A and B are shown apart, each in its own frame.
Chain A
Amino acid sequence: MLRVRSLSVGYPNGRLVLDGFDLNVEPGELVVVLGGNGSGKTTLLHAIARILRPSAGEIWLGDTDLCALEGEQLRRARLELAMISQHPSLIRRNSVLTNVATGTLGRHYTLQTAFGGLPRCELDAAYDHLALVGLEHLAEQRAGTLSGGQRQRVSIARALAQRPRVLLADEPIASLDPEASEDIMRLLQRLARTARLAVLCVLHQVELAYSYADRVVGVRDGRVVFDLPREQVSRDSVHRLYIGEAA
């Protein structure tokens, strides 16, 4: 589904943040990326979403190389990729249901959606996606009144409303308490299984990676150090990812 081949991303000064990165994520799989600060985890997600332009390599989404796309073609390709971030970015004054339904805008370019409306069918579907994340009872509430965990669930529902094939999650539990963190990780795992999504998740919580990931990718200095099923990942190899980070 998602294949990253020899991906490099560099700064204009020539320093490489990602250096020949390889990765596969299949449908129904939850892959967790671990690594220290500045190791290139978030850059990887931003490059896949084409927020950043890779300096070399390929990013295949099915049969499409995202690196070769620009403009309208890139916009269309992005419909297949949904992204959730550490700080869920919702329109605070809009209702929860409206926020979820805006995930579908890219699929509906009509006079109605151009002037602030949303298709009835997508509002109904948005309600179902809210039910999937357990927040259908908050559908009419303003997004600005939600807790951090609830906002993250809404952003996941919006990502699902987009009907993507790949879900990119950039530290989705970084600002949540342990209970909410477990909830979100359980939800991501369930979505990978039931919706056959390819989920690529950047985490700092090693224990949660051991609990929920199908595969764990260790990253250091922009390179893949290991890419193994979670049961084969040793504590020692994970520990080595973070050695020297504090120095």
Chain B
Amino acid sequence: MSADIARAELRVPSSARTSNTRTWGGAVTLAVRCVLTLLGVAVVVQTFIVVEARPSDLITGVHGMADLIRRAVPPDFSKLPSTIWPTVQTVDIALFGTMVGVVLALPLAILAASNITPSRFAYYAARGIIGFTRAVPDLVWALLFVTAVGLGPFPGGLALGVHSVGMLGRLFAETIEQMDMAPIHALELTGARRIQVFTHGIVPTILPTLLGISLYRLDENIRSSLVLGFVGGGGIGFQLLTAMNLFQYQEVSLLLIIIFVIVLGAERLSAALRERLA
């Protein structure tokens, strides 16, 4: 009996078998798509539930926001002289953090670039350090350094520096890994030593990209240094927090204008310099 069935199956034309396979394949694909769509919808819905999103609060909160804006206008420009020093501090925290980041990230990136690393141990060690410094947010670093060295701009600079090591180290290493190695091998074949190959071959090849990345990081660090003031990292962020706590909304609006100018200025300057380097 079973042999008869097997023979009967064998007699089914191959086109019919292909058609059946296609039908089953289509059904499975459709089912997978439905499940994925449901999963997508579930992810969106749970975010609204978890963050307790209540759009009605936005409407009722309009009055409060309008009152805040009314009290913040006009900005108190008489406080302008007292904002100069925190502004300088904010920019310098970012500059300090970027410089520390670049100086520490460059040697780490050399060790963490798979194409030029001297050993596998150095590679994994450097990747570990880069990964850890990047994984811990700069705000957390700031809190740690405030605990260690006290309030002020120094812990802010250190926090940005250490976090920048992670961000820059990874980008520097990727730049080195992606560079064209043919000119480097050609230089090795001339009998040049490793250090000479590095300074005469690798550095000139990657320097413009590294400078571009560093400038972009500086731009990001200026924005971050504003926030670091909230946790005692000094600068204009600390002044903003103080003004808000004292309900000095006209001073808050002045500080927001200054922050806007600093961020925009840094962004444009960084973009212009990167364009020149390209």
Contact = CB atoms under 8 A, between A and B. Distances in A.
Interface of A: 49, 51, 75-76, 78-79, 81-83, 85, 87, 89-94, 102-107, 109, 113-116, 118, 155, 158, 162
Contacts of A90: 183, 186
B205 A162 contact: no
Nearest to A94: B204
8 contacts: A76-B191, A91-B204, A91-B205, A93-B205, A93-B207, A104-B190, A106-B191, A162-B190
Interface centre among B180, B190, B200, B205 (most CB of A within 10 A): B190
Given A79-B191, A105-B192, A162-B191, A87 B182 contact: yes
A165 B102 CA distance: 43
Given A91-B183, A92-B205, A93-B204, A115 B199 contact: yes
B266 to A, nearest CB: 26
Interface centre among A79, A85, A91, A106 (most CB of B within 10 A): A91
What is the interface residue range for chain B against chain A? 20 to 34
A102 B192 CA distance: 8
Interface of B: 180, 182-183, 185-187, 189-193, 195-196, 199-201, 203-205, 207-208
A158 B196 contact: no
Given A105-B192, A109-B193, A85 B186 contact: yes
A183 B3 CA distance: 79
A75 B205 contact: no
Given A76-B191, A102-B200, A114-B196, 7 more contacts: A83-B189, A89-B180, A89-B185, A89-B186, A90-B183, A93-B207, A102-B187
B196 A89 contact: no
A106 B193 contact: yes
Nearest to A83: B189
Nearest to A113: B196
Given A102-B200, A114-B199, A115-B199, A158 B190 contact: yes
Nearest to B185: A89
Shortest Cβ-Cβ A-B pairs, 4 listed: A106-B191, A105-B192, A89-B186, A89-B182
A78 B191 contact: yes
Name B's interface SS: helix
Nearest to B186: A89
B182 A78 contact: no
B16 to A, nearest CB: 41
A106 to B, nearest CB: 3
Contact of B196 (A49, A92, A105, A155): A105
Contacts of B189: 49, 51, 78, 81-83
Contacts of A82: 189-190
B264 to A, nearest CB: 31
Nearest to A168: B189
B277 to A, nearest CB: 10
B110 to A, nearest CB: 15
Contacts of A113: 196, 200
Contacts of B200: 91, 102, 105, 113, 116, 118
Given A89-B183, A93-B208, A114-B196, A102 B203 contact: no
Interface centre among B182, B189, B192, B205 (most CB of A within 10 A): B189
A102 to B, nearest CB: 5
Contacts of A105: 187, 190-193, 196, 200
A82 B182 CA distance: 15
Nearest to A78: B191
Nearest to B189: A83
Nearest to A76: B191
B186 A75 contact: no
Contacts of A51: 189
Contacts of A85: 182, 186
A155 B200 CA distance: 15
A158 B187 CA distance: 10
Nearest to B191: A106
Contacts of B183: 89-92
